[in-house]
């Protein structure tokens, strides 16, 4: 049996903490956009989006800024972007198709502060990736404060139930996220947008 790399084990078992919305989060996103654009060659990255709960005003969240970054290919992430970000202290995670995403490689990074706390999750996606549909969920919560409030309450409850198990925490949100995505797709009249 293959042991997981140490940084993967650490990431899977870090405490899940949900905090009230912080109006500083959009500014932290903008600062990281500037940092990434300064650190990476312009031809390697396209649009950068703030998604996840910290991108929804008023929503309680883990105090970690989630970002989607457009790239031309996953190969460029592995060959060019990962070495540049790792040299600046970012932790690199690569999920190959055999890890549950048929036909798609998936790369993301964790940025931490001086105390070792996660501050940013930075996900790299090709332009045509279905993962861009995550923005539909963000937009739905922004447009439906009652759904955002219910989602925040759910996250607080399951964080209390699974404080040291990020996989169980994520799985416990699945039913809510799927229902919200069905409603969001109905409102936009299609399978989502990129």
Range from 6-15, 62-71, 181-190 carrying the lowest mean pLDDT: 6-15
What confidence score (pLDDT) does residue 7 get? 62
> Is the pLDDT assigned to residue 180 strictly greater than 60?
yes
The hierarchical CATH code for the domain 6-188 is 3.30.460.10
What confidence score (pLDDT) does residue 125 get? 94
CA angle 110, 116, 117 (to 5 degrees): 70
pLDDT-derived band of residue 166, with 50, 70 and 90 as boundaries?
Answer: confident
What mean pLDDT is predicted for residues 147-162?
96
What confidence score (pLDDT) does residue 167 get? 87
Map out the domains of the chain as residue ranges.
6-188
Give tens-digit pLDDT for 124-147. 999 999 889 999 999 999 999 999
What mean pLDDT is predicted for residues 31-46?
97
> What is the spatial distance between Cα 164 and Cα 167, in angstroms, rounded to a whole number?
9
C-alpha dihedral over 48, 49, 51, 54, to 10 degrees?
Answer: 90
């Amino acid at each position: 049996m293959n042991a997981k790399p140490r940084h993967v084990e650490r990431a899977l078992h870090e405490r899940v903490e949900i905090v009230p919305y912080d109006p500083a989060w959009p500014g932290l996103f903008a600062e990281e956009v500037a940092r990434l654009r300064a650190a990476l060659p312009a031809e390697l990255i396209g649009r950068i989006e703030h998604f996840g709960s910290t991108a929804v005003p008023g929503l309680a969240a883990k105090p970690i800024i989630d970002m989607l970054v457009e790239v031309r290919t996953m190969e460029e992430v592995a060959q060019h972007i990962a070495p540049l970000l790792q040299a600046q202290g970012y932790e690199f995670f690569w999920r190959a198709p055999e890890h549950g995403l048929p036909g798609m490689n998936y790369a993301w990074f964790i940025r931490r502060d001086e105390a070792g706390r996660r501050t940013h999750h930075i996900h790299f996606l090709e332009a045509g990736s279905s993962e861009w549909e995550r923005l539909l969920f963000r937009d739905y919560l922004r447009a439906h404060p009652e759904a955002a409030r219910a989602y925040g309450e759910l996250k607080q409850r399951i964080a209390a139930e699974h404080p040291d198990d990020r996989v169980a925490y994520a799985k416990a949100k699945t039913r809510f996220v799927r229902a919200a995505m069905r409603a969001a797709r109905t409102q936009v009249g299609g399978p989502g947008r990129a």
